[in-house]
Structure 1
Amino acid sequence: MAFTQNIPSVETPEAPSKVADMPPGNEEFADRITPAIEFRDVHLAFDDHKVLDGISFTVMKGETKIILGGSGSGKSTIIKLVLGLLKPDAGRILIDGEDITDYDEAEMMRVRKKIGMIFQEGALFDSLSVYENVAYRLHEQGVPEEEVEEEVRRMLRFVNLEDAIDKMPNELSGGMRRRVGIARALVGDPKIVLFDEPTAGLDPPTARTICELAIKLRDLEDVSSIFVTHEMNNVEYLTSEYAVIDERGNVVFEQEGERLCLLNTKIIMIRDGRIIFSGTDEELFKSDDPYIRWFIRGK
């Protein structure tokens, strides 16, 4: 499982960017050390406002990178750049070692197929049932209905909502809508998942449920993810717990330190378009930077 592997924890720009760069027989190793996502000195400005100012970071295979920052700090802009919805003014962006910086829309459509996107509000189609929402991409691809139903039920089981399969979005709570959005994003088993403020506006127990789903993806599915948030509760959940399968086949969550130490969840904090912190949660909470202390206290 992902949390037991000693994956490089921070930026590794020196790592080979393609399997072809490695000696024969080392393809599996090369795949493991090639970042799932890599930003290299990325700059972006809107008119005179600099949104990102020399951003560099990596997300390794099976790693969760939590991006913290206040409103307008550039967090969600990073998500849009990964998806190719924005283009940087300078710098390079790589997905699985593939430089997507200059890709056109047709090329980005291929790349996006390997990425799941969790929107802040769930972004469901109100006129479609839960089943139809989760199945939407599969229906567009012309997948046979038997396969569609099997996949939809599998994804809804993952988010514990199979009983809601025939409901309409207006019959769901806010947390349930987010979970349906997660199920829809996971169709096709993407190995990269982007969370953009997925717990905004949710009560603490529901927010915890969303974080537990992110932990399951990380630890049981080896998914690489970016988790954009401004909420410190999310940081606590994601950096202190891991998911395992018990002897009965059930998913259980254990605290870091009980048996294992988390190696695959790191934090970066952005302020005014620059990374002012990169490291572990322990390092974050020990920081004496005034802005970080203010942010941790709850602004």
Structure 2
Amino acid sequence: MELRWLTSFVAVAEDLHFGRAAERLHLAPSALSAQIRALESHLGVRLVDRGRRSRPRLTGAGELFLVEAGLTLAQVARAQAVGRRAGRGEVGRAEIAYVASAAFSGVLTQVLSACADDGKDLTVGVRELETPAQLEALASGTIDVGFLRWRPTYPPDLTAICLLAEEVVLALPEGHRLARLQAVPASELGAETFVVPHFDEQHDFRDHIRRLAELGGFSPRLAPPVKDFIAALTLVSGGLGVALPPASLRCVHLPGVVYRPLADARLITRLVGVHRRQDTSPAVRRLIRLLSAAADGKAAA
């Protein structure tokens, strides 16, 4: 069965006049009549009574078939509209993953809000994943965009957009001797044990500890690595060490934890959005454009 047969039949049923229906469809009356006959032949039933001296009228079968034909054409129109919107990235699904500390920066919330306010039917799935797991999930296609802390290199098929650069602060137990200071010099940290998330074994925050150690003239002591910065701050609250979280984590008000700036070191950490270079999904490309807009907004701020 051809869709054009249905379109022709519905036009005839609405007008009950082959000439007017043909004109509306930009067909010759003979061509329209041929399509109706082809439809009736296909179904094995007469749908339209063609009176020589009276207007055409629908048979009982034709009246029942008209309802279904109308529903079918409406669904086809909807499918075409969805297909076109999907091609423009206006409808679809994208999967996001993020490290825990990214949730407190405000950038993830900004991108999700932009997805919600975009006026499009873009469905976004969100989950928390550590950095190595995110990189694996991006490679396998399980996720489309990852929010993670900066790394010096990425797999060749991935690219990163810097979303936020923020200072690192010192997290201390509330009763710590250094908590009374307004800002803490690196030289005062030689006796401290630093707690670091285990996903960051080589880069970023461990680099910050090494820089502080160089400035302060000491060899850093590291506690056993923990899952993420929330776990690190929990250990800090228990008096088991100090940590160097991004400044955005100051919004995490764990009992027994205070935050102080560093007096003689300006350490910067970057939050990046990582995605596949050659991703062809229109929905994902739209999400990437929202990422870029978020990055531009932070730069302007």
Q: Which has the higher strand share?
A: 1
Query: Under TM normalisation by the shorter chain, which class is it?
Result: under 0.3
Q: TM-score, normalised by structure 1?
A: 0.20
Q: TM-score, normalised by structure 2?
A: 0.20
